[in-house]
Amino acid sequence: MRELTYVQAINEALKQNLERDERVFLMGEDIGKYGGIYQVTAGLLDKFGPQRVIDTPISESGFVGAAIGAAMTGMRPVVEVMFIDFTTCAMDMIVNQMAKIHYMFGGKGKVPLVLRANLGAGRGTGAQHSQSFHAFFLHIPGLFVVVPSTPHEAKGLLNTAILNENPVLFLEHKKLLPLTGNVPEEYYTIPFGKADFKRMGGDMTIVATHAMVHRSLNVAEMFAKEGIEIEILDPRTLKPLDKESIIESVKKTGRLIVADEGPVTCGVASEISAMIAEEAIEYLRAPILRVGSPDAPVPTSPLLEKAYIPDEDDLIQAVNKMKAFL
Amino acid sequence: MDLSRDQKLGLYKKMIEIRLFEEKIQDLYARGSIPGSVHLYIGQEAIAAGVCAHLRKEDYITSTHRGHGHLIAKGADLKYMMAELFGRKTGYCKGKGGSMHIADFDLGILGSNGIAGGGIPIAVGAGLSSKMRGTDQVTICFFGDGASNNGTFHEGLNFASVHRLPVVFICENNLYGISVSQKQHQAIKDISIRSVAYNMPGITIDGNDVLAVYQTSGEAIQRARAGEGPTLVEYKTYRWRGHYEGDPNQGRRYRTLEEIQMWMKKCPIKRFEAKLAKEKVLNKKKVMDIWKEVEKKIEEAVAFANQSPFPDPGDIFEDVYVS
Amino acid sequence: MHLTKDRAMSKSNVPDGSEVLRAVPLVRWVAKKERIDLSLVKGTGPEGVILPKDLERFRTTQSAMGTVVPTEKRSASSLARKLATKKGISLEKMSGTGNRGRIMMADVARAVEKGAIFLDGQGMFGQTLPMTQMRKAIAKRMSLSVFTAPHIYFFTDVEMDALNRRREEILPDFERKFRIRISINDFFVKAVALTLGEFPILNSRLQGEEIYIMPEINVGLAVALEEGLIVPAILRADRLSLAEISQIRTDLVDRARTRKLKWEEIERGTFTISSLAQFDITFFTAILNPPQSGILSIGKETDHLALREGKVVTKKIARFGLSVDHRVIDGVLAAKFLESLKHRLENPSLGSL
């Protein structure tokens, strides 16, 4: 079995899609000659030429909008916004245009594009380049939001995203870029709306996204020594969300921790907590705990940034709190 | 460009269609038959008619909140437009879009946009797509003086120019955003001069002279079709009514009666009618016939809309996603 | 740092100062379904929140104390439930052979034979159980009663055959006409009420150095709940028809079980009947229910052999006991009362029962 990094897996997916479908093209800042800020699109310009790998001016609204127009008229663009933080420069295009066109126009017109962006703190990139506010996009009907946590999932889910007829936000976590994993060479897809049980356990459930998945796995190993078995569920796509699997796990363990790197207030964890409180409250044996970033901008100084990021220490704190309800 | 008699009559008829349709909407809206808000095109007919006369079915346009004129000029069916305005299920957008969001992809109408300048990047994308697919489709991007200040104007024109896309940017300068006059919202008088910043041709023309519109837009469209890149064309015009139906006193909070009356004297339809009468292309009877024909068409559209059912509340989730 | 921070409220701020019950949702759900009073359960979770294991412990404790375990949880036929209650057996761990594991009467019978344990004894021994409010109240009252009122006890054997026959006779009529199911207890209430009418001193209370004869005859019937005995009283039982007594009795007992009785309905009692006839108890001595002066205890009906006109016949005998406050009532009076009651019960047609 072949091992690729998260970056290589995405690169391969893009390459294979550019090969198999001439309607697919890439657009974004510095994705061509430079190969992308984190080298995710390295080598693709050479292989496919400037018609299909376009280096854009710094105008998110303009080129995301252009991707929309192109998608509406027969193409299948994969447009990159360098950091999720910059999607704010294209908010009208994302919120008022791509998310609504199919609906507003009564089911006519569709926007089959993929908007790739990276998120997450941990590389000292500071307040405007490290955010994880993907929860914004869950709040806008009409968008799909994909959050792969492994190289295998990154490739499979990106393939599915490109095939999908809806606008898909495909979000890559900075800290996962060098992560290696088994990635089949052939073309394959992973369905949206299907969570993955990364670990089975009976005592409590952690629903985790992106880097929180791996941090939770580390923490689970530690607690296993104490005889506490933690179940870890990775939604993989936040929209569409696999509610059923989450409820199933809560029914079993009765104790839920939701871990997502966005700020806690009104984040992904809040939505999942509310959903469980509404649909599965009678199974709860403990309050629902949310682990996420604090309600503060991301600081740069390393110790501060480390304190900011929700990591193993914060998860351990949550599990310990939960232990009192065992 | 010399036009044939039929072509001239075609232009005239199109302007009448737009004028009478909008007047009908004005009336129906006042009576409460139309929910939501409408922004009427009365006074600007020459631009839509003159520009779209050059377009093929497969050419694209992006329109604005004041888009009924563009849609009619591109060939939209009045029945489905009326039904959409009435909020009926049989409308172009199944009642989900309303006046500001009508689209017909069969006619290349990539939708009206409620966001000022929102259509500019989308038009650029359509141009990009045509170029990539190797067709000679042209995209017309309509927007107003207000939108010309939005970031999307800059980003869109820049992108189109650097990639030499087949897009014609048509700025309908009616001297006002909503209530803020051009003098107050930009330092320049002729918006077309901004074309220099994008190394594309720019021109300012009297937008109430349908033949001038026809001529200039035709040239720009030719350029685009020939792969020579985008053009910025500015048409000076005026809207007779307020920004929206309900704008007190037809915008007299921010416009003077004198100004409105002065522009009404420059009515594009009256001017063209007079010209065609002189050329013996039109006479009183012909005018009557055309008006009657158009009125009948509009009445049929109203009847169709009135008879159409409203959407079901259960339809609310339909088409949020493509399944 | 990133956990949902300190809770906004650690203590409830309910104005009357009472603590709001804290329990995790699963516990509330189960308690609601099984009609368990959570105020009786001690919580060991953070800040005293009640956890599922606390509820489990409570249920175990309850069955150990011999109080009737709520048996609504397991699916069981009504005959099975009756038998289980009679035998004092918990249905919880029983296996059922009916539809979808439903417990049938035969299953209960079998469990009885096998010597089924009604105590879920694991973990009980060595445990210290807190006294509930009700338990404390009962302890106080019973102590008061026993240590202030000198009790004297009298017993008599009542032949139940005639009464049983009478009941059988009127049962279908009553069901049809009034939609009520007459219980033998209804007869007892009526009989006691009428007999009290003849012996007013037994319907009295001591007030200092005066004996106050209560203006009304309100006969109370003791109902056993998990946490203790509760005695709702039937108002002016001497003036009610059997049907009325039956209806009121049904309602009071139901509401006793669902904890919906009004205090006044308990307080107004002037005489108490306590029956352990469903259990294998021949007779027992009851402690007066203060401030009442008399209490009737009823034991189980059993078959006896007797000679009647030289022939051996079987009779159903129930042993009745009467306890009275000797400060108020003498032996002779008590004996006469009991005799009269017995006569009434053995001759139902005469005693207007």
Per DSSP (E only), the strands in A69-141 are 76-83, 114-119
Tokens encoding A243: 């509610």
- The residue type of B235 is Y
Cα separation of A268 and A255, whole Å? 18
**Chain A residues with CB-CB distance to C51 below 8 A:** 285, 325
**Chain C residues with CB-CB distance to A317 below 8 A:** 3
Residues of chain A with CATH 3.40.50.920: 196-323
- Summarize pLDDT for B29-61 with one digit per residue, the tens: 999 999 999 999 999 999 999 999 999 999 999
Better pLDDT: C60 or C193: C193
- Quickly list H helices, A29-129: 44-48, 60-72, 91, 101-104
Q: Residue C73's pLDDT is what?
A: 58
- The residue type of B116 is A
Interface test with A, best of C4, C10, C49 (most A CBs within 10 A): C4
Task: Tell me whether residues B125 and A101 touch, CB distance under 8 A.
Answer: no
Cα separation of C65 and C224, whole Å? 13
Q: Residue C69's pLDDT is what?
A: 44
User: Is the minimum CB–CB distance between A88 and chain C shorter than 8 Å?
Assistant: no
Q: Residue C312's pLDDT is what?
A: 92
- Summarize pLDDT for C131-159 with one digit per residue, the tens: 777 788 888 888 989 889 999 999 999 99
Rounded mean pLDDT, C186-212: 94
Q: How far is A104 from chain B (nearest CA, A)?
A: 4
- Buried-exposed string B261-295: b where 16+ CB fall within 10 A, e elsewhere: eebeebbbbebbbebbeeeebbeeeeeeebeeebe
Residue among C295, C253, C247, C248 nearest C270 (CA): C295
Tell me which residues of chain B, numbers 82 to 121, contact chain A at a CB-CB cutoff of 8 Å: 91-97, 101-105, 110-111, 113-115, 118, 120-121
Residues of chain A with CATH 3.40.50.970: 3-182
How many C-beta atoms surround the C-beta of residue C34 within 10 A? 14
Q: How many CB pairs under 8 A join A and C?
A: 46
Task: Tell me whether residues C3 and A321 touch, CB distance under 8 A.
Answer: yes
Cα separation of B122 and A98, whole Å? 10
Average pLDDT, whole number, for chain C? Answer: 84
Tokens encoding B53: 């006369």
Pairing of strands C311-325, C151-159: antiparallel
Task: Tell me whether residues A290 and C3 touch, CB distance under 8 A.
Answer: yes
How would DSSP label each residue in B61-74? EEE-TT-HHHHHHT
Return the bridge partners of C298, or none.
C275, C320
C304 has catalytic annotation: no
Q: Residue C13's pLDDT is what?
A: 42
- Summarize pLDDT for A45-94 with one digit per residue, the tens: 999 999 999 999 999 999 999 999 999 999 999 999 999 999 999 999 99
Task: Tell me whether residues C4 and A286 touch, CB distance under 8 A.
Answer: no
Judged against a pLDDT cut of 70, whether residue C11 lies above it is answered with no
User: Is the minimum CB–CB distance between A307 and chain C shorter than 8 Å?
Assistant: yes
Exposure on the CB side of residue B151, measured as CA atoms within 13 A: 13
Residue C351: pLDDT band with limits 50, 70, 90:
low
Q: How far is CA B309 from CA A135, B99, B179, in A?
A: 38, 18, 37
- Quickly list H helices, chain B: 5-31, 45-52, 68-73, 78-85, 119-133, 151-162, 182-185, 210-225, 257-265, 268-278, 284-307
Task: Tell me whether residues A96 and B118 touch, CB distance under 8 A.
Answer: yes
Domains of chain B: residue spans and CATH = 5-308 (3.40.50.970)
Domain A3-182 has CATH 3.40.50.970: yes
B78 CB-near residues (< 8 Å, 6+ apart): B17, B21, B72, B297, B298, B300, B301
Judged against a pLDDT cut of 50, whether residue C8 lies above it is answered with no
Residue among B64, B39, B65, B61 nearest B52 (CA): B61
Per-residue pLDDT of chain B (323 residues; tens, 9 = 90+): 689 999 999 999 999 999 999 999 999 999 999 999 999 999 999 999 999 999 999 999 999 999 999 999 999 999 999 999 999 999 999 999 999 999 999 999 999 999 999 999 999 999 999 999 999 999 999 999 999 999 999 999 999 999 999 999 999 999 999 999 999 999 999 999 999 999 999 999 999 999 999 999 999 999 999 999 999 999 999 999 999 999 988 899 999 999 999 999 999 999 999 999 999 999 999 999 999 999 999 999 999 999 999 999 889 899 999 98
Rounded mean pLDDT, A174-185: 97
- Summarize pLDDT for C166-192 with one digit per residue, the tens: 999 988 888 888 888 889 999 999 999
C330 has catalytic annotation: yes
Judged against a pLDDT cut of 50, whether residue A146 lies above it is answered with yes
Tell me which residues of chain C have a C-beta less than 8 Å from any C-beta of chain A: 1-4, 24-27, 29, 45-46, 49, 51-52
The ipTM (two decimal places) reads 0.88
Average pLDDT, whole number, for chain A? Answer: 96
Q: Residue C65's pLDDT is what?
A: 62
Q: What residue in B sits closest to A99 (Cα-Cα)?
A: B320
- Buried-exposed string C236-267: b where 16+ CB fall within 10 A, e elsewhere: ebbebebbbbbbbbeebbeebbeeebeeebbe
Exposure on the CB side of residue A204, measured as CA atoms within 13 A: 30
Domains of chain C: residue spans and CATH = 25-129 (4.10.320.10), 134-346 (3.30.559.10)
CATH domain A196-323 topology: Rossmann fold (3.40.50)
Q: How far is CA C143 from CA C137, C140, C269, C289, in A?
A: 10, 5, 19, 11
Rounded mean pLDDT, C326-337: 95
- Summarize pLDDT for A245-299 with one digit per residue, the tens: 999 999 999 999 999 999 999 999 999 999 999 999 999 999 999 999 999 999 9
C-alpha dihedral (C245, C250, C253, C258), degrees to nearest 10: -150
Better pLDDT: B188 or C56: B188
Q: Please tell me whether residue A40 adopts helix, strand or coil conformation.
A: coil
Tell me which residues of chain A, numbers 185 to 224, contact chain B at a CB-CB cutoff of 8 Å: none
Better pLDDT: C53 or C111: C53
